Amino acid sequence: MTPCFNEMFQNGDVRAPYAGLEGWSADMPADVRLAKQAEAEALFRRIGITFAVYGEGGDPDRLIPFDMFPRVFTGAEWAKLERGIKQRARALNAFLVDVYGRGEIVRAGRIPGKLVYQNEAYEKAVCGFIPPKGVYSHIVGVDIVRTGPGEFYVLEDNCRTPSGVSYMLESREMMMRMFPDLFRVNRIEPIDSYPDKLRRTLASVAPAKCDRDPTVVILTPGHFNSAYYEHSFLADLMGVELVEGQDLFVDGAFVYMRTTEGPKRVDVIYRRIDDAFIDPLCFRPDSMLGVAGLMDVYRSGGVSICSAPGAGVADDKAVYTYVPEMIRFYLGEEPILKNVPTWKCGEASDFKYVCENLGDLVVKEVHGSGGYGMLVGPKSTKQQIEDFRALIMADPGNYIAQPTLALSTTPTFVEEGIAPRHVDLRPYCLVGERIELVPGGLTRVALREGSLVVNSSQGGGVKDTWVLAE
Amino acid sequence: MLLNVDHTTLYRYDRPVRGVVQSHRLTPSRFDGQQVLDWAVTVSGGSMGGGFRDGAGDWVQGWTVAGPVTEIEVRVRGQVQTTDTAGILRGHKELVPPEAYLRASAATEPDEALRALAQILINAESPLAGSHALAEAISEAIAYKPGSTQAQTTAAQALAQGEGVCQDHAHAMIAAARAADVPARYVSGYLQSGADGGDHEAAHAWAELYLQGFGWIGFDPANRCCPDARYIRLGSGLDAQDAAPIRGISRGQGTEILSVAVAVQTQEQ
């Protein structure tokens, strides 16, 4: 594999954004480092932040390791990322409004109808509905990797309810608490406005029938959910109620929440439960997590649901390959951020290429997530490759393949001291009346040496992410 | 034909329930084959919720009833002028692309026997002839026998046991059509009671298949025909559950006892 890009060191020199960290890390005695690490872990445990990032499975009570070495972007690097992410969020939402409307992009032959309309995430029930402000996906989590100084690729989009943002906020909190000096020496863009921005975004998509300050709630599946901590954390920071399905009910044309002062009308529901569970009358009749009659209220404009039911059709791994096409089709622009070249095993020529080059490729299930059900060719044994080949042959349409990217590394505290480890980035783009994002995002780091899998279920950790003020 | 509908659904609970939420598809579709002259849906003690026309062209209406309550009556009364369009759903405005009806649902998952039936459609001279032949084959394969199946019976199960009601005929037709890559959906509605002496129920269901050049066409294997002026179309879905005229849920411990009375008669009689 080609040598990967080290975000701090280039040919023995320290890259500019990391200049403020060189002395800090080099001068830190081992015992101080260990003490700080123990302090960080104790703090994380005390506040109870122990959850898996969206769809990753695994033990919900496991603590995700926190690495104290920050990951740093220059203002200019971030400016480009920000433009690229906003562009993507606009295109994805335009796509969703389109495919639940006239489906112009399919009619124009720019994306196969089968991929969209036969997709499990396509919700016939919302066809013909345009949510307030034309937004289906209000929080778009875009997973980005870096391979060179100016080389960024989007790995996938998360249009439903991407999680992990509480880790972004807590990591910063932790760093400011443990290393206040760093924040005096370096000019780091703040991210603490995220909860306010999220609240404003949600309030901005209140339905037309709402004629007062909108009441926003977070709908959680409950405390057994792996991201429950994040649900309650965000509700706290936004100053909104955290509710479960049983706390809400439909009366006539509106949704109400039970409170000690009687029923209170709810205008915007930031739901952290899947489409299939939000209304037993419309989707899974056996669901106890949702609210009966919610979809009728939603469709008749009595309440807003974020993300809008049906948004998942935009973040499918097979649909992903068409996002650059969406950007050109809806915005008339060239994509600012590149997609990773992707081969669709369901297509004959791609299938042939994938079969001939399995050893060099990363193969993923179209609907899989969390680093499960995937093959990392260069890191696999002959037997593993052959086993996976059989899976692909049995159901080619279920797999896509990508080249193994040489993910960038950043210095990371490890047992022996400091060593480079691979990282990715998930910024959270908020889409309402305005499109905005706080500078940075969640950096995930593959703590195992040489590992490219940053998912927390596969031994990944998190870091604070800095964007330097220009 | 002028059809009068009187349809009462009575829900009784052995213990009071705290409340009931329902979602109705109880309003006749708008298309060339039917014109509503008069129509009213009432829910005893209910407040009318949000209503909207969905992407499939159906009018969906929410209702809630605040408890405690032990009995709820949903009554549908109306008059519809119908004309025979030979089963073709002409002049029906909808947005859901036909392709979205290629997806199987739990009730319409095809098995080997249903795939074998699909061959009739695949090997036919034309899709239209094939659809008629498929409907005929399903009439033959599943004998009409009330009470032989339940609401949860799947297409594959009904076909295996060789008996069923209109719901099972429609499910089997849909499952086989989708297996032949022809978009198909479940339609719920009414059928004129006993006019032809036939042994069918007035609350009825059939299948629609999407055929290039024709659009959606209804097939009623239970009665070996295509819907004509005796039929009133209410709404559609992937299967019976998805197209149900009334979907509801009650909060509370009470056990529900359901009784339904439907009469659909012509004015001329």
Interface membership of A262 toward B (CB under 8 Å):
no
Q: How many domains does chain B have?
A: 2
pLDDT digits (tens, 9 = 90+) for B31-66: 999 999 999 999 999 999 989 999 999 999 999 999
B148 and B61 share a domain?
no
| Substitution target from B47, B247, B251, B256 for chain A, most A beta carbons within 10 A | B247
Same domain, B111 and B205: yes
Weakly modelled stretches of chain A, pLDDT under 50: 1, 53-57
**How high is the pLDDT of residue A54?**
43
pLDDT at position A59 is 53
Any A CB within 8 A of B45 CB: no
Name the residue facing A127 among B50, B66, B96 (closest C-beta): B96
**Cβ A299–B96 below 8 Å, yes or no?**
no
Domain region containing A279:
9-338+406-467
Whether B30 and B42 share a structural domain: yes
**B53 to chain A: which residues are within 8 Å by CB?**
128
Query: Hey, is the C-beta of A335 within 8 angstroms of any chain B C-beta?
Result: no
Question: What SS3 state is found at B56?
Answer: coil
pLDDT at B199 over 60: no
What is the complex's ipTM, to 2 decimals?
A: 0.94
One domain, residues B158 and B100 = yes
Output the pLDDT for position A62: 63
Check whether B269 has a pLDDT greater than 50.
no
Last residue of a domain, one of A403, A421, A449: A403
Subunit contact B64:A102, Cβ cutoff 8 A: no
With CA atoms as reference, the chain A residue closest to B251 would be A292
In this prediction, residue A373 carries a pLDDT of: 74
* Facing residue for B50 by CB, picked from A100, A117, A297: A297
Q: Which residues of B touch A285 (CB under 8 A)?
A: 241, 247
pLDDT at A97: 98
* Structural domain includes residue A271: yes
Q: Does A122 touch chain B (CB under 8 A)?
A: yes
Whole-Å CA distances, A413 to A66, A74, A399? 10, 22, 35
Contacts of B23 in chain A (CB under 8 A): 281-282, 293, 295-296
Do A211 and A346 fall into the same domain? Answer: no
Taking CA atoms, what residue in A is nearest to B102?
A: A118
For A296, the closest of B56, B60, B97 (CB atoms) is: B60
Co-location of A298 and A202 in the same domain? yes
CA of B181: how far to CAs of A140, B107, B219, B243, in Å? Answer: 34, 17, 17, 21
- Domain end, chosen from A403, A422, A449, is at A403
B260 is in which domain, residue-wise? 2-81+246-266
Q: Are residues A311 and A438 in the same domain?
A: yes
pTM for the structure as a whole: 0.93
**B256 touching chain A per CB within 8 A:** no
**Nearest CA among B182, B159, B180, B181 for reference residue B170:** B159
Q: Are residues A450 and A390 in the same domain?
A: no
User: Are residues B110 and B63 both part of a single domain?
Assistant: no
Please tell me which residue of chain B has the smallest CA distance to A283: B242
Q: Which two tokens stand for residue A194?
A: 């995220």
pLDDT at position A217 is 98
Q: Does A79 touch chain B (CB under 8 A)?
A: no
Q: State whether A23 and A125 are in the same domain.
A: yes
- For residue A191, what pLDDT is reported? 97
Residue A3 falls inside a structural domain = no
- B109 and B131 assigned to the same domain: yes
Residue with tokens 């905005």: A436
For residue B32, the SS3 value is coil
Which of the residues A102, A255, A296 would you substitute to probe the B interface, choosing the one with the greatest number of B C-beta atoms within 10 Å?
A296
**Which chain A residues contact residue B103 at CB under 8 A?**
118, 120
pLDDT of res. A53 = 46
Contacts of B51 in chain A (CB under 8 A): 296, 300
Question: Within this chain, do residues B61 and B146 fall inside the same structural domain, yes or no?
Answer: no
B103 close contact with A: CB closer than 8 A:
yes
The answer to whether residue A153 is domain-embedded is yes
Q: Which residue has the higher pLDDT, A375 or B173?
A: B173
B21 has a chain A CB within 8 A of its CB: yes
A15 plus A88 within the same structural domain: yes
Q: Are residues A142 and A84 in the same domain?
A: yes
**A118 vs B contacts (CB less than 8 Å):** 99-100, 102-103
Return residues 378-437 of A near B (CB < 8 Å): none
B215 shares a domain with B93: yes
Strand B231-237 versus strand B215-219 pairing type: unpaired
pLDDT number for residue A41: 83
Q: Is B5 helix (H, G, I), strand (E, B) or coil?
A: strand
Same domain, A234 and A257: yes
Pairing of strands A241-243, A216-219: parallel
**A356 and A271 inside one domain:** no
B187 and B112 in a common domain: yes
Per-residue three-class SS string for chain A: CCCCCECCEECCEECHHHHHHHHHHHHCCHHHHHHHHHHHHHHHHHHCCCCCCCCCCCCCCCCCCEEEEEEEECHHHHHHHHHHHHHHHHHHHHHHHHHCCCCHHHHCCCCCHHHHHCCCCCCHHHCCCCCHHHCCCCEEEEEEEEEECCEEEEEEEECCCCCCHHHHHHHHHHHHHHCHHHHHHCCECCCCCHHHHHHHHHHHCCCCCCCCCCCEEEECCCCCCCCHHHHHHHHHHHCCEEECHHHEEEECCEEEECCCCCCEEECEEEECCCHHHCCCCCCCCCCCCCCCCHHHHHHCCCCEEECCCCHHHHCCHHHHCCHHHHHHHHHCCCCCCEECCCEECCCHHHHHHHHHCHHHEEEEECCCCCCCCEEEHHHCCHHHHHHHHHHHHHCHHHEEEEECCCCCEEEEEECCEEEEEEEEEECEEEECCCEECCCCCEEEEECCCCCCCCCHHHCEEEEEEEEECC
> Which residues in chain B have their CB less than 8 angstroms from residue A106's CB?
97
User: Does some domain include residue A265?
Assistant: yes
Question: Which chain B residues touch A127 with a CB distance below 8 Å?
Answer: 54-56, 95-96, 100
Looking at the complex, does the CB of residue A125 fall below 8 Å from at least one CB of chain B? yes
Note whether A246 and A371 are same-domain residues.
Answer: no
Whether residues A410 and A398 fall in one domain = no
Interface contact flag, B22 A106, Cβ < 8 Å: no
Give the orientation angle of helix A382-394 with respect to helix A348-356, to 10 degrees: 170
Cβ–Cβ gap A127/B102 under 8 Å: no
- Asked if residue A1 is part of any domain, the answer here is no
* A366 has a chain B CB within 8 A of its CB: no
The CATH number that applies at residue B45 is: 2.60.40.2250
Q: CB-CB: which of A126, A280, A293 is closest to B49? A: A293
- Kindly state whether residue A4 falls inside one of the protein's structural domains: no
Look at residue A431 and tell me if it is in a domain: yes
Task: Say if CB B203 and CB B190 are below 8 A apart.
Answer: yes
Best to test chain A binding among B18, B63, B96, B181 (most A CBs inside 10 Å) = B96
Q: Does B18 touch chain A (CB under 8 A)?
A: no
Residues B141 and B10 in one domain: no
Q: What is the pLDDT of residues A117-130, one digit of tens each?
A: 999 899 999 999 99
Please report the pLDDT score of residue A221 as a whole number: 93
Chain B positions touching A115 (Cβ under 8 A) are: none
**Inter-helix orientation angle A165-178/A228-238, to 10°:** 70
* pLDDT at res. A1: 47
Supply the CATH number for residue A389's domain: 3.30.1490.270
- Between A120, A124, A301, which is nearest B55 by CB? A124
> Is residue B197 located within the same domain as residue B209?
yes
What integer pLDDT is reported at residue B8 of this predicted model?
A: 95
Which residues on chain A are in Cβ contact (under 8 Å) with B104? none
Vertex B90: Cα angle to B86 and B94 (nearest 5): 140
Same domain assignment for residues A124 and A253: yes
End-of-domain residue from the set A383, A403, A423: A403
pLDDT tens digits, B129-155: 999 999 999 999 999 998 899 989 999
State how many domains chain A has: 2
Residues B62 and B136 in one domain: no
Contact of A288 with chain B, judged by CB distance below 8 Å, is answered with no
Closest Cα of chain B to A461: distance in Å?
A: 39
**Residue B187's CATH number:** 3.10.620.30
